[in-house]
Structure 1
Amino acid sequence: MTNTRAEAAYVRSVNAFKTPTLHLLHRRSAPFVVAVLSLLFTADRPAVAVADAHAELGEVLDELRAAGYDEDERRLPSGSARDICREWVRAGWLLPQIEGDTEVYRLSAHAVGALEITGRTGGGRARVSNSRVRTLLEAVERLAGDAEVDPARRLARLRQEREALDAEIARLEDGFAEPADDEELLEEAENILHLARELPADFTRVAESIKAMQRDVVADLRRDVRPTGEVLREYLERGQHVMQATAEGRAFAGALRLIGDPERIDALTEQLHDLLALPFSRLMDAAQRDELQAVARRIELGVQEVLTAQRRASHVITGQVKTHDPVRDRQVDELLRDVIAGLQAWTSTSSPDAPVTPVRSLPNAAIRHLRQSVSDLRAPGRPAPLTDDPADVEFVGDDTRAWGGPRYAELEAYVAGLGDEFDLGDAFEGADDETRRPVDLLGLLEIAHRNGMTESERVSVVEALRPDGTSRRFAFGAVTARTMREHDHD
């Protein structure tokens, strides 16, 4: 008979060891991986440029190989620093990203979890302390209180808490304040460090869940064949509410209400600074003091990492939706499948060392000019020269000239009889109907500008008559023009 409980426990253990976290710790070179990752990535340095990571990893390799650590059972990995980082990316410990114009590495949630496990077991004193037990009891008590639905029992609990607070206030008002033991304060500080070590992995898991949701949305969008309008409505809404699309994101949104206030982070930083100035902090080693001082910075960087992932996911989803074209996407997919099929066919018939001729340039398209006429493209002869004599101009009907430009000759003759100065708006209103077209108003303004005019803040309104009998009203700054006499030409 099969032991079902044993099988279930064994399957859970096998699945756990398949995760990148335990796979990292199970490797022979796990001490080297953990040491390098802890050196490259710190609370103040969550992202490292790829070139810098390769250079620093190469220096660590040279130092350890020179010290002889490559000869014992904890063998160092072979290959260059670039090859090692690529292997870590494939294993899921490093995440390559583009930030600005620089490619950087970030720790995955699995790598952060592995570092947290080794830091908890290798550093500090892992023990059952009063602080940890009290934290557990208070958490259970708070959960039970929040889940309580009986108003009477909740009131009784609140009154009990108020009585305890009143008693503490009375003792302090009487001047009695029992000093805390340094050993107890140290336990409290170690408990804070224990809780703080779990935060980076939690933040990274939230960011990775958002990125995974982003990839799923983009993949679903490429496979979507629904109308673009329906796709836009659904996916834009998911992009705007990306934080609520995952369980980790919803949990983070609730926690952000507690830690997202900059004033709260500043207050936390000040409190940690004051704690490190107390006598009990001398019982902590230098690493613990640095870690305690960096708690606020860890929280700030974790929140920033998650919000950056949220903004990037919203931007990517929105951009994909705006450029969504199912027909084009299918064409691209078919083209890629054809390329992959051709590559497989070529590799099946060629040797591994067969040379590949690169395509250095694309062929030029041979495009020629198409004739637009079947007749001879050469003109039969030069056209007759134009003449300046108005008498030679012939108009076909009155409508041809009526829809033309200003009648300069008529306008200049009309202006010559208006005296030395005249108001341009009044002059236009008094002209004949044939010279009161909109274009004639422009011609009259041109003549006034050429002869000299003065503008004022007053507004003139005139009504122009178009050749088809309709009228249009124009408003412009009032203009006083003068008439050019014969002596003005001299």
Structure 2
Amino acid sequence: MSATAAVHRLVRQRDAHAGWALLRADNAHAILALLTRHFGQEIRRRPAPELFELLDDDLQELRESGFHLPRTGQGYCTDWVRAGFLQRRADGAAREETLEPTDGAYAAMTFVEGLTAPVSAATESRLATLSTQLQSLARDSDPRSETRMSALRAERDDIDRQITAVEKGEFAVLDGARALERSAEILHLASEVPGDFARVRAGFEELNRDLRARILEDDSGRGDTLGDVFRGVDLIGQSDAGRSFTAFYDTILDPARSSQIDDWIESILARPFAAQLDADQLRRFRRLLTDMEAAAAEVHSTMSSLSRSLRHFVQSRAYEEHRHLQRLLRNAQHKAVDVARVRKPFDNLDLHLIRVGMSIESVAAFALHNPSDDLVTVKVDTPPTGVVDLEELRRLVRESEIDFDELTANVAATLRARGRASVADVLAVHPATQGLASVVGLMALASRYGHSTTDTDLVEWTSTAGITRRAVIRRQLFDPTAAEFRRQEGSSQG
């Protein structure tokens, strides 16, 4: 590649890659510090309100230390999402938005971490890793059975020699310094996993957009991409990236492999050199497999969700509406090009455009409810306590409720005197002290402890305003054997 081509390629990458943009941002030091602080090995995404609150506390501390960071955590997060440092995702379970670093942000964070805590490229463990990978690649890519058999026999002979040496007690034990070096190399490789998963997920999303664009661009019936989706082919899962990740996901979720990795980690932490590891390194070793499984599960969920979404996009015929909209937009663009040849943007047109639509406002424009606004700030005067007048309380209760105790006693007294009684009979002997309420109460008692007849009665009462009222009601006779009235009779005799 010529120097000119290389420069142009890097210029395009500088303008398009979020990691490069983050490194040359004015507040790159603060952005990287805050992202690294809140998105470490164990936490890859946070609910947006939680992140806003954490950033507000950190920003206040930084301002007190002399850094000029005038905006709020929410304001900075909005800028970082727009710049491609953070990515919004909808969390269906919690019904709130989450934020997580993009693959570009992880690339910048890994680069800076390598500057502050560099890992030597000439370590024995790094060379051993390269040798193992080269040997595996040379063996697995060899199509000849003769050379494969020769390599396997050589490997078997080497293993036999090692077994013989171990049986004789002639083997070297890795010393503390070299063991710590390999431990650091393992943890460094593990620290790159979140960025790798972010790039894989971004690759799936880019593939999803490319497949949708191909479906919209192919207007000639059912093209290859559209036909594959209609036939149920999982184009995302069966892509090169999808097959590679699926193989990794199946391997890491294999119970035998997981148990083996756990045993290895427990054995390493039981070695004497593990006492020289700090608390953070010990924690990262213990969570190595758990964090990798959780991150892989998130990527697998994204891949499955994109596959389902693409299949629904095709099977629901939604792509036809998108095609129609795309044709309208392109038609409008072509007409705009034709008009641009004869009209200028600043020309006055003899047109009166009526603007129709709705006002769209940001959610941030709404004023939040402050519970403290409903608090009473003036002093509440407590009246002095006094003696309760039972008769006054009874009078207040009678103003709002029907006195069924009085009505039941009146019915019982009338039944004792006459043997039988209707609502009109009771009112004739015991006037309605509560006006219409007494009449309604007697009718309620009669419907519960009596029965109706086909005859009618004329009832009379005096309203609270002193006006005499009359009404014709169906005759209702009380049951003299009802326990409610017999109790009243017993209490009056007692």
TM-score tier by shorter-chain length is 0.5 to 0.7
Hey, what does 1:96 align to over in structure 2? 88
Q: Percent identity?
A: 26
Q: CA deviation at 1:282?
A: 2.9
Asked if residue 192 in structure 1 is aligned to residue 192 in structure 2, the reply is no
Give the AA of the match of 2:301. T
Return closer, same or farther for 1:336/1:149 CA change in 2, 3 Å cut-off: closer
Report which stretch shifted further, 222-231 or 156-165. Answer: 222-231
Q: 1:284 aligns with which of 277, 282, 297?
A: 277
Length, aligned pairs only: 343
Hey, what does 1:148 align to over in structure 2? 142
Show the 5 A alignment for 1:158-237.
Answer: 158-227=152-221, 233-237=227-231
For structure 2, the 5+ residue unaligned runs are 336-344, 349-354, 360-494
Q: Is the 8 A contact 1:120 1:126 kept in 2?
A: no
Return closer, same or farther for 1:30/1:165 CA change in 2, 3 Å cut-off: same
Asked if residue 82 in structure 1 is aligned to residue 69 in structure 2, the reply is no
Hey, what does 2:463 align to over in structure 1? none
RMSD: 3.5
Report which stretch shifted further, 234-243 or 81-90. Answer: 234-243
Report the TM-score, using the length of structure 1 for normalisation: 0.62
Give the AA of the match of 1:92. G
Q: Write out per-residue CA displacement over residues 178-228 of structure 1, whole angstroms, 9 at most, x where no aligned residue.
A: 322011111111111222122222222111111122222233434554557
Return closer, same or farther for 1:239/1:80 CA change in 2, 3 Å cut-off: farther
Q: CA deviation at 1:357?
A: 8.8
Q: Write out per-residue CA displacement over residues 73-101 of structure 1, whole angstroms, 9 at most, x where no aligned residue.
A: xxx4x422222112211222211111212
- In 2, distance between residues paired with 1:104 and 1:222? 30
Q: 2:41 aligns with which of 36, 40, 43?
A: 43
Q: Is the 8 A contact 1:209 1:249 kept in 2?
A: no
For structure 1, the 5+ residue unaligned runs are 71-75, 342-346, 350-355, 361-490
Q: Write out per-residue CA displacement over residues 315-368 of structure 1, whole angstroms, 9 at most, x where no aligned residue.
A: 111211122156644555578899999xxxxx999xxxxxx99749xxxxxxxx
- In 2, distance between residues paired with 1:275 and 1:327? 58
Return closer, same or farther for 1:324/1:339 CA change in 2, 3 Å cut-off: same
Give the match's secondary structure for 1:243. coil
Show the 5 A alignment for 1:119-138.
Answer: 119-123=113-117, 125-138=119-132
Q: CA deviation at 1:62?
A: 0.8
Return closer, same or farther for 1:237/1:182 CA change in 2, 3 Å cut-off: farther
Asked if residue 248 in structure 1 is aligned to residue 241 in structure 2, the reply is yes
Give the AA of the match of 1:14. V
Q: Is the 8 A contact 2:211 2:225 kept in 1?
A: no
Asked if residue 20 in structure 1 is aligned to residue 14 in structure 2, the reply is no
Give the AA of the match of 1:44. E
Q: Is the 8 A contact 2:103 2:199 kept in 1?
A: yes
- In 1, distance between residues paired with 2:150 and 2:198? 40
Q: CA deviation at 1:115?
A: 1.7
Q: Is the 8 A contact 2:142 2:148 kept in 1?
A: yes
Q: Is the 8 A contact 2:34 2:55 kept in 1?
A: yes
Hey, what does 2:53 align to over in structure 1? 55
Q: CA deviation at 1:26?
A: 2.3
Give the match's secondary structure for 2:90. strand
Hey, what does 1:115 align to over in structure 2? 109
- In 2, distance between residues paired with 1:330 and 1:237? 20
- In 1, distance between residues paired with 2:197 and 2:238? 15
